[in-house]
């Protein structure tokens, strides 16, 4: 169980960091938020891939879904113009 949790955190960090790097501009998001974002993005990607394709999501699909989440968070946090 401990190995699973450590791998979950590492994969969440990797996916979240890559997604944040792919979206240009500043992100006032901390280390923990990046990990949670990566975990949630990977979970959503896995659920979508299971429903649409009948199999698990790949790494690239997880990063793409997480990029969408970064854009969504940035849009909700930006001040109204």
pLDDT single digits (tens) 17-57? 999 999 988 877 888 998 999 999 999 998 998 888 888 77
Structure tokens at 15: 């996916």
The predicted model scores a pTM of 0.85
Over the stretch 55-78, which tens digit does the pLDDT of each residue have? 877 889 999 999 999 999 888 876
By the 10 Å C-beta count (0-12 exposed, 13-18 middle, 19+ buried), 41 is classed as buried
Q: What is the DSSP letter of 77?
A: H
pLDDT for position 67:
95
Structure tokens at 8: 């979950």
């Amino acid at each position: 169980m401990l190995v699973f949790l450590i791998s979950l955190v590492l994969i969440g960090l990797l996916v979240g960091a890559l997604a944040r790097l792919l979206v240009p501009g500043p992100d006032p998001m901390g280390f923990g938020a990046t990990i949670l974002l990566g975990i949630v993005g990977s979970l959503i990607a896995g659920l979508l891939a299971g429903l649409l394709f009948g199999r698990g999501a790949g790494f690239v699909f997880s990063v793409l879904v997480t990029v969408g989440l970064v854009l969504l968070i940035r849009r909700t946090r930006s001040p109204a113009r």
